[in-house]
């Protein structure tokens, strides 16, 4: 029976990017996650925090420990956090863990792995992401995986995102058995099932195009181009300045991972504060720190992610 793995009190809201993100409810880093034995703690949340704290300080060698939490008897978001952290701070040699998770028989794992693959920003993960999309079950899973592919390959609001949740039913007979009222539509469903969804061809076409533009497989890719901090911050600010600011939890997650800047103040009581987030970004721009980030390079807490 699935059970919830409780977060310790000193970690409530940690790894929730609508709360404390990479940080903690109290100022400073809890001694419990810095202790040498934290990597062997019986609570997986403490282990995940211990891995992250070491990576913040430049030691990414413990990221493979997160693999044990990708799947399991959890009702909480630990599997999501474990895979997302792998995408944020995994070394090049760790990223095949995401590729393997994309091939999982577990639908939740496939979705989490697609998110992690987008965070890792490696084009060579796209074929496995597309295979996960083809194996998806239902509109929600197709959408989550499809949007992650779109995040890698195109600017926001592109054709891939628009078609991400349009798919064909693979097993028409099983579908009709569960939905007998749709029996009249059986001929049309069988015709559709014999055709390749448009999304697949669009992804393959876009993947080939971006791969020609970015032949180096270790280039960090975002929105179909080599990632740049300047472009990222510019798009983040534009999103915040819209008449109705877009939800920015995912953008906050990325910014905090890249820079190590605590953005918790922009999510007081879980409610996003676009003005506070704008102030954080503007302070970062004015600091001159942005010039230290090299285009196409993955960063975690201000330093390049090791190969």
Q: Mapping DSSP to helix (H, G, I), strand (E, B) and coil, where does residue 163 land?
A: helix
Encoded tokens for 62: 């413990």
Encoded tokens for 276: 């506070």
pLDDT digits (tens, 9 = 90+) for 17-39: 999 999 999 999 999 999 999 99
Per-residue buried b or exposed e for 30-44, using 16+ beta carbons within 10 Å of the residue's own CB:
bebbeeeebeebeeb
pLDDT digits (tens, 9 = 90+) for 47-72: 999 999 999 999 999 999 999 999 97
pLDDT band at 1 (very low <50, low <70, confident <90, very high): very low
| Pairwise CA distance, residues 44 & 31, whole Å | 16
Is-above-0.85 flag for pTM? yes
Q: Which residue has the higher pLDDT, 247 or 15?
A: 15
Closest CA to 101 of 89, 114, 92: 114
Non-local CB neighbours of 172 within 8 Å, separated by 6+ positions:
186, 189, 190, 193
- Under the phi-then-psi rule, with left for phi > 0, alpha for psi from -120 to 50, and beta for the rest, what region is 194? alpha
pLDDT, mean of residues 245-260: 95
Cα 14 vs. chain centroid, distance in angstroms? 16
| Pairwise CA distance, residues 227 & 293, whole Å | 10
Sole residue written with tokens 């990221």: 63
Residue 279: the pLDDT is 98
Low-confidence winner among 88-97, 147-156, 192-201, 263-272 (lowest mean pLDDT): 192-201
Residue 184: the pLDDT is 77
pLDDT, mean of residues 90-116: 97
Residue 6: the pLDDT is 84
What are the phi and psi torsion angles at 190 (to 5°)? -70, -35
pLDDT digits (tens, 9 = 90+) for 257-294: 999 999 999 998 778 999 999 999 999 999 999 999 99
pLDDT band at 191 (very low <50, low <70, confident <90, very high): low
| Pairwise CA distance, residues 64 & 95, whole Å | 9
Residue 15: the pLDDT is 97
What are the phi and psi torsion angles at 255 (to 5°)? -60, -45
| Pairwise CA distance, residues 120 & 297, whole Å | 11
């Amino acid at each position: 029976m699935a059970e919830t793995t409780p977060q310790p009190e000193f970690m409530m809201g940690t790894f929730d990017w609508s709360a404390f993100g990479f940080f903690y409810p109290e100022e400073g880093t809890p001694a419990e996650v810095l202790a040498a034995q934290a990597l062997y703690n019986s609570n997986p949340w403490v282990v995940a925090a211990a891995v992250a704290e070491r990576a913040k300080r430049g030691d990414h060698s413990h990221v493979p420990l997160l693999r044990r939490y990708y799947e399991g008897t959890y009702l909480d978001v630990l599997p999501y956090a474990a895979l997302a952290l792998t995408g944020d701070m995994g070394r090049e040699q760790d990223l095949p863990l995401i590729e393997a998770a994309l091939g999982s028989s577990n639908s939740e794992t496939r979705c989490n792995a697609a998110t992690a693959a987008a965070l890792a920003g490696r084009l060579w993960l796209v074929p496995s992401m597309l295979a996960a999309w083809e194996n998806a079950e239902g509109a929600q899973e197709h959408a989550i995986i499809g949007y992650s592919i779109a995040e890698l390959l195109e600017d926001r609001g592109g054709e891939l995102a628009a078609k991400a949740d349009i798919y064909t039913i693979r097993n028409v007979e099983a579908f009709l058995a569960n939905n007998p009222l749709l029996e009249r539509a059986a001929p049309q469903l069988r015709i559709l099932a014999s055709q390749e969804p448009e999304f697949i061809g669009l992804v393959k076409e876009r993947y080939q195009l971006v791969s020609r533009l970015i032949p180096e497989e270790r280039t960090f890719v975002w929105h179909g181009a080599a990632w740049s901090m300047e472009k990222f911050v510019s798009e983040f600010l534009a999103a915040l300045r819209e008449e109705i600011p877009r939800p920015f939890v995912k953008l906050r997650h990325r910014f905090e991972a890249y820079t190590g800047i605590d953005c918790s103040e922009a999510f007081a009581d879980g409610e996003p504060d676009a003005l506070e987030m704008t102030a954080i970004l503007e302070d970062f721009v004015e600091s001159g720190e942005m010039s230290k980030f090299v285009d196409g390079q993955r960063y975690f807490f201000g330093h390049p992610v090791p190969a």
